[in-house]
Amino acid sequence: MPIRLTVEPVRNKSSVPYMVRKVRFFSTPVQRVYARTYAIHTAALYQVGVLLRAVGTEKQAAHVEEAIDKRLETITADMQAELKRLEQVRDDNGIADDVHYSAPLDLEAPISTRRAAVYLGILELWDRMLRVMDTLRLTAVISDAQFRDGVFVWRRQITQAVLANVGVARRAMIARHKELQETQEERRKNPRPPRRARPAASNPEAETEATGVISGAGIDPSGETTASEGVTAEADTSGADTDTETAGDRDDTAHDASTADLEHPDMALEITDEHVADIANLANEDEDGTRRKTRRRSAAGSE
């Protein structure tokens, strides 16, 4: 059963700090991975940092974040080692790095967490690696098959890390939603009686003024705001989107999983089963978009 998750704003959307980094991706494989993973992955990384501490302890949150950091650090270290090896192969063959590309992509990537910056750095590092691989391919040092296998192996490693991190965010979101549901159910079963303002015997005008402020601000006498807040989940059993009743306004704008141009980071991005399936498909695709039935271990320039 697909579970669609979204964060419902109460009054105003949160003002999320972010910075923009200008990047240029030369190779098509990196451009595709960025378009189909960056928005989803960065939103998931943000949600992990926010929600884990809302549903668990600081120690539990730190443990999960440590696993995410290790996953990203491992990919970075492996890529750096492979890039160094490929550059050595290029230099040993006396080849100049003068490969050109017909359609490089210039982007302004929003960065809302330090882990998003690390992930963007991974994509930049992969783009550098593919430039060297293209140079070796065009000079016949490696074959077309070796090039395709090398692209496949690294795209799979990157996308599997993204899937693992997105999975953590979805579980945290579901846990947070369950906690809020239980809290709301408890409040419905055991409503708190409204508190009455104490009359000011010495100054009756003060009582009238205080009552007017409470009613004018739209605040319930019990101390709770009248607008609902939190995370709502939509269960879709028929394949069609269903509406969830909320007291606040809802943004029903559809989010595109494959968007390369982002005006600002959407940290409340709805991470659906379709998003996860698209990234999983990307992990197993060849350059022509067909799905590989088996995984090939050989990378460029190796057996």
- Tens-place pLDDT, residues 19-44: 999 999 999 999 999 999 999 999 99
pTM: 0.67
∠ Cα 35 39 40 (to 5°)? 110
Residue 122: the pLDDT is 98
- Considering Cα of 157, then 112, then 254, then 167, what sign does the dihedral take? positive
Residue 264: the pLDDT is 54
User: What mean pLDDT do residues 275-299 have?
Assistant: 73
3 has a pLDDT exceeding 80: no
Residue 174: the pLDDT is 77
Q: Which residue has the higher pLDDT, 100 or 300?
A: 100
92 has a pLDDT exceeding 70: yes
Q: Which of 54-63, 85-94, 192-201, 234-243 has the highest mean pLDDT?
A: 85-94
Q: Which residue, chain included where needed, has tokens 């906690």?
A: 179
Residue 245: the pLDDT is 33
User: 234: pLDDT confidence band, cut at 50, 70 and 90?
Assistant: very low
**Residue 102 is encoded by which pair of tokens?**
């017909």
Residue 164: the pLDDT is 93
230 has a pLDDT exceeding 50: no
User: What mean pLDDT do residues 140-159 have?
Assistant: 95
| Residue 10 vs residues 29, 56, 230, 247, 266: alpha-carbon distances, Å | 40, 23, 8, 8, 16
Mean pLDDT over each residue of the chain, to the nearest integer: 74
Residue 198: the pLDDT is 61
DSSP letters for the chain: --EEEEEEPSSS------EEEEEEE-SHHHHHHHHHHHHHHHHHHHHHHHHHHHHS-HHHHHHHHHHHHHHHHHHHHHHHHHHHHHHHHHHHTT-------SS-EEEEEEE-SHHHHHHHHHHHHHHHHHHHHHHHHHTTSS-HHHHHHHHHHHHHHHHHHHHHHHHHHHHHHHHHHHHHHHHHHHHHHSPPPPPPPPP-TT-HHHHHHHHHHHHHHTB-TTS-BSS--EEEEEE-SSSS------SS----PPPPTT----SS--TT----HHHHHHHHHHHTB-TTSPBPSS-----TT--
| Residue 264 vs residues 41, 155, 166: alpha-carbon distances, Å | 14, 26, 20
Residue 288: the pLDDT is 64
241 has a pLDDT exceeding 50: no
Identity of the residue numbered 121: G
Q: Estimate to the nearest angstrom the gap between the alpha carbon of 131 and the chain centroid.
A: 27
197 has a pLDDT exceeding 50: yes
Q: What is the pLDDT of residues 56-88, one digit of tens each?
A: 778 878 888 998 999 999 999 999 999 999 999
Residue 196: the pLDDT is 66
- Considering Cα of 21, then 26, then 30, then 32, what sign does the dihedral take? positive
User: 205: pLDDT confidence band, cut at 50, 70 and 90?
Assistant: very low
Q: Estimate to the nearest angstrom the gap between the alpha carbon of 197 and the chain centroid.
A: 47
